[in-house]
Amino acid sequence: MHHGPDPTTITLITVLILLPLLYRRMRKLSRPQPLKLDRLWIRPAFILAGCTLALLAPQPPGMPARVLAPPDWGWLAVAAAAGAWAGWQMGRTMHIEVHPEDGTLMTRGGMAAMLVIVVLIMFRMGLRGGLQMEARAWHLNALLISDASIVFSALLFSVRSLEMYLRARRVMAAAAPKPRS
């Protein structure tokens, strides 16, 4: 006997909610936005803090204590490396320029950045469904896979900001007026 909502209905509702949000985000990414270098570290700091809390927070009462074994740390390191690489590549897709009139930094996202976000959402939805159906049969640790996706996402967005920061500094330096001799 099946209890609870139909997974197909949940997926359909999720897609219907996400499509307008993704469309809005895509339109925003296509327009130049001011880039504030001095604030670029704030979002990654919160993301990394949230990731750390998610991984190291004590389990709720009644749940068994969670201990990460050395192989688990290895998988988390692989997820971190993959997220860092993807974040660097995603950061490279962001167009950064100096506004010709007021000299401020402007950024505009590429379609590749949006594609990464869509792929992450689809992967997460597929992962959730696959784990619910096959985790025990495949001897998968659903919590470890969830933790790895958190680590991947945290590094993706943090390294993206780092790449943008480093490149924005080079763009500003190149656009600075040269002293005349």
Confirm if 90 and 156 have CB atoms less than 8 A apart. yes
28 within a domain of the structure (yes/no): yes
Structure tokens that stand for 120 in this block:
């992450």
Question: What are the pLDDT tens digits along the chain (181 aa)?
Answer: 556 666 677 767 777 887 787 777 777 767 788 888 888 899 899 999 988 888 887 766 766 666 778 888 998 999 999 999 999 998 888 888 888 888 888 888 766 666 777 777 677 666 666 665 655 665 567 678 778 888 998 999 999 999 999 999 999 888 877 666 6
**pLDDT value of residue 4:** 63
Instruction: Spell out the residues 6+ positions from residue 113 whose beta carbon is closer than 8 angstroms to its own.
Output: 29, 90, 93, 94
Q: Give the 3-state DSSP-derived string for 14-46, with helices as H, strands as E and coil as C.
A: HHHHHHHHHHHHHHHHHCCEECCHHHCCHHHHH
Whole-Å CA distances, 46 to 67, 99, 130, 143, 170: 24, 29, 30, 22, 25
Residue type, 68: L
Please count the structural domains in the chain.
1
Within a domain: 126: yes
**107 domain residue, yes or no:** yes
164 domain-assigned: yes
The pTM score is 0.73
Question: What local confidence, expressed as pLDDT, does residue 72 receive?
Answer: 86
- The reply to whether 1 falls in a domain is no
In a domain, 2, yes or no: no
The string of DSSP letters for 105-150 reads EEEE--HHHHHHHHHHHHHHHHHHHHHHHHHHHHT--HHHHHHHHH
Residue 17 has a pLDDT of 82
Q: What per-residue confidence (pLDDT) applies to 163?
A: 94
User: Euclidean distance between the first and final Cα of the chain, in Å?
Assistant: 84
Q: What domain range includes position 46? A: 7-59+66-175
Task: Determine the pLDDT at residue 45.
Answer: 93
